[in-house]
Amino acid sequence: MDNRAQHWADTKKLMFKTLGIWFVFSILIHLFAGALNGSSFLGFPLGYYMAAQGSLIVFVITIFWSTTQQEKIDEKHGVAEEDQ
């Protein structure tokens, strides 16, 4: 596999990882909100907390993490932009 193809394969892998996290916290976890409300976190019912705050925090961290990873992938394969 040439460098471009390898770069794209790595990029795709990261994309699927990122979307995996996204899927868990945007969709999956809210299907169980009723059950999660049985336990509490920081004094909040957990199901409510995840929708009001928890998922949002995860999204912010995920984006910062995945952009940093993507920059590393670009640099590793020598396709990053030159600094201006």
Least distance in angstroms from the C-beta of 64 to another protein: 5
> Does 10 interact with another protein (rule: CB under 8 A)?
no
Q: Rounded distance, CA 47 to CA 41, Å?
A: 9
41: CB partners within 8 A, 6+ apart: 49, 54
What is the contact surface with another protein in residues (CB under 8 A)?
Answer: 4, 7-8, 11, 14-15, 18-19, 21-22, 25-27, 30-31, 33-34, 37, 40-45, 47-49, 51-53, 55-57, 59-60, 62-64, 66-67, 70-71, 74, 78-82, 84
